A and B are shown apart, each in its own frame.
Chain A
Amino acid sequence: MQIFNNGLSSLVELAKSIGAGLIGAQGGGTVQDRLNDMDSTRKQGVSVVGDNAVKLNAAAAETGTNGGRINIPVGEYRADGNVIPDNADYAYKHVLSGVKRAVSKIKSSLDGVLLYVREGFDIADVALVNDSAQAVGRAIATNDAKQTANGRTSDVDIEGWRVGIWKRYSLWDAYRNLRLKDNTCAIRLARHAYQTDNANPDAVAGWNNWNDGWFHNALTFDNVLCDGGEVGIWAASMCATYMNVTCQNQATDGTANDVLPGTQKGTGILLDAGTDGTRSGWVNQLINYYSEGSQIAAYLRDQRYVGVQNMFVQGGASGDRAEAAIIADNSVVEIDGLTGQDWFENVIDAKNGAVVYLNSQSGALAGNQYRTDATSVIKRRGVIDKARHEYKLHKASGEKTFTLPVTVPDHGIVKIYIDGLYDGWSGRTGEALVINWNGAVATSVKWLTDAGVAPTNVEITVTNAGSIDIKLTGTQSFTAYALIDVIGGADVSGNAIELTGV
């Protein structure tokens, strides 16, 4: 009883005496004392118009050095300067947390970074609000050269910033129960230093490279709402799970972009990689993604594989259509469960070599359903097998060699069907079996025609590494279709069930 009668300072003394980690007690209790100063100011009815960042800074410095919790009591605290500075010593040291985000608020007009984070940062139960007229600054950010890791951002409101959360490199971070509203960009996991305009330069070096490369690996997003602005989540991520994310009202038309590159329209989730146009992204997963009122619900760029498992998307009115539910740009995307309603210019837009496997789509998604350019395909379930590729080959006079974009995988077996017309009237058909034993012996090409030879005017050669050349010969024009079936290889043959002989 005496402890409570004596108030918080006694709790601090008790904590010190028993070595316990009571809230605010670490670092000798002065952190809580400082924050109590602010709290008492609020309780006495004095408007919080001053800059409390100095006191918060002191709390951050103390907990950053010694470890501890920066406790934000109930109230609104003004911090027009930086609260947690960038300091390598603060890694894995402190926690910034309030009571609940609805009642523990830090308000700012800062055109800078409010909270710099390092590894092991932990921010919870607060609201970080920028109330300047324009969306400026960043609520949570790394510097331009360092990473976060094992961090937690949970039960936080972030509102009114140019970028709510910005990171240069990151891994093993978790984002849970977030409400990000009216930030120009809610979350940005960047591939380059912070840009004050909408430039989006490529990473200089490759993935997982500290020296101006890019990485944001193994991340969890769970129950994250991004409302408004130009873009919800923009990430050069890998092995990230975007689970129960909602992006809504990213409705900008791209004519006055502050953050999004070029004239890209408002986008819910934008995934990219180190270099635009090069498929260097790895894998990411969207699970139960909800989007409404955004021009582009998901823009997936340069991704080796994105799994979309359940997605509801709401478009616009017939006369004011949303741009797309999914834009697959030089990416492989597999969609299980796409549904929604209202109108789109294109429900799925595949371009620049994109391959979209659409396994399930239902609902009232209106407008043009699928758009593809010359190098992209949208393969609907039952239309074509995943490992089947079709190419059209054509030459006028003289011979021409075509290298196929697909290769024979290690330990792989591939069938090639040729169906062509030479000189406009003479059929050229045949079936070839290609077997590749991991480059250890010459790749074998067997023609399965009656005569066991290639059709006239067709030559197929395959390198030991699996690259396939088809040469069309003869003096006349020749148009042929090459259908490639990858029967096995790599993960198939290489991991086949081993039988025991008797």
Chain B
Amino acid sequence: MALIKDFEKQVPGLAAPVVVPGAYWAIQSINGDKTELHCTVVVKERADADGTIGQLAFYFTPDAGADNYHAQAYRHLKTLDAFAGAQDG
């Protein structure tokens, strides 16, 4: 499971960010407890890319009675403004 969304990388000295269209965003790790889960996401140019181009971290309060934390993490990610329009990958 992953999300497909453009990846923008700000580069000092350039007015506009470098954009990787349709980048592959996958949750790399989930740690914490029922009060707060801390997640990291890695970004690749595509699913089978040999290496990453970016990293993101976020956290949220899970619903301990709901489905697995992975699915909840992806759902939470999609509620963020920065992930508006992201597609399931």
Contact = CB atoms under 8 A, between A and B. Distances in A.
Interface of A: 206, 262, 275, 277-279, 330, 351-353, 373-376, 394-396, 402-405, 407, 439, 463-467, 477, 479
Q: Kindly list the 4 A-B residue pairs having the minimum CB-CB distance in the complex, ordered from nearest.
A: A373-B51, A465-B36, A403-B57, A467-B59
Q: Which of B2, B15, B28 has the most CB of A within 10 A?
A: B28
A396 B17 contact: yes
A206 B68 CA distance: 10
Given A395-B10, A405-B40, A465-B35, A278 B55 contact: no
Given A375-B52, A403-B57, A463-B59, A353 B27 contact: no
B4 to A, nearest CB: 14
A376 B51 CA distance: 9
Contacts of A405: 40, 55, 57
Nearest to B50: A351
A348 B14 CA distance: 33
Interface string B36-79: 10101010100010111111111100000000101000000000
B52 A373 contact: yes
A403 B59 contact: yes
A374 B51 contact: yes
A351 B12 contact: no
A287 B13 CA distance: 48
Chain A binding surface SS class:
loop
A240 B28 CA distance: 23
A88 to B, nearest CB: 30
Given A277-B2, A278-B30, A375-B42, 9 more contacts: A206-B68, A278-B70, A374-B53, A394-B12, A402-B57, A403-B56, A405-B55, A407-B38, A465-B33
Nearest to A275: B70
A370 to B, nearest CB: 13
A333 to B, nearest CB: 15
Given A279-B28, A477-B12, A467 B38 contact: yes
A434 to B, nearest CB: 15
Interface of B: 2, 10-12, 15, 17, 26-33, 35-36, 38, 40, 42, 44, 48, 50-59, 68, 70
A237 to B, nearest CB: 19
A407 B58 CA distance: 11
Contacts of B10: 394-396
Nearest to B51: A373
B59 to A, nearest CB: 4
Contacts of A351: 50-52
B52 A465 contact: no
Contacts of A403: 56-59
B54 A467 contact: no
Contacts of B12: 394, 477, 479
Contact of B38 (A394, A464, A465): A465
A403 B27 CA distance: 14
B47 to A, nearest CB: 9
Contacts of B33: 465
A278 B38 contact: no
Contact of B55 (A275, A374, A466): A374
Given A352-B42, A439-B35, A278 B29 contact: yes
A404 B48 CA distance: 26
B75 to A, nearest CB: 16
B33 to A, nearest CB: 7
Contact of A353 (B11, B50, B52): B52
21 contacts: A277-B42, A278-B30, A351-B50, A351-B52, A352-B44, A353-B29, A373-B51, A373-B52, A374-B54, A375-B42, A375-B55, A394-B10, A394-B12, A396-B10, A396-B15, A403-B56, A463-B36, A463-B59, A464-B35, A465-B33, A465-B59
Contacts of A479: 12
A467 B26 CA distance: 20
B77 to A, nearest CB: 12
B34 to A, nearest CB: 10
Contacts of B52: 351-353, 373-376
Contacts of A275: 70
Nearest to B58: A403
Q: Which of B31, B42, B50 has the most CB of A within 10 A?
A: B42
Contacts of B57: 402-405, 467
A117 B76 CA distance: 44
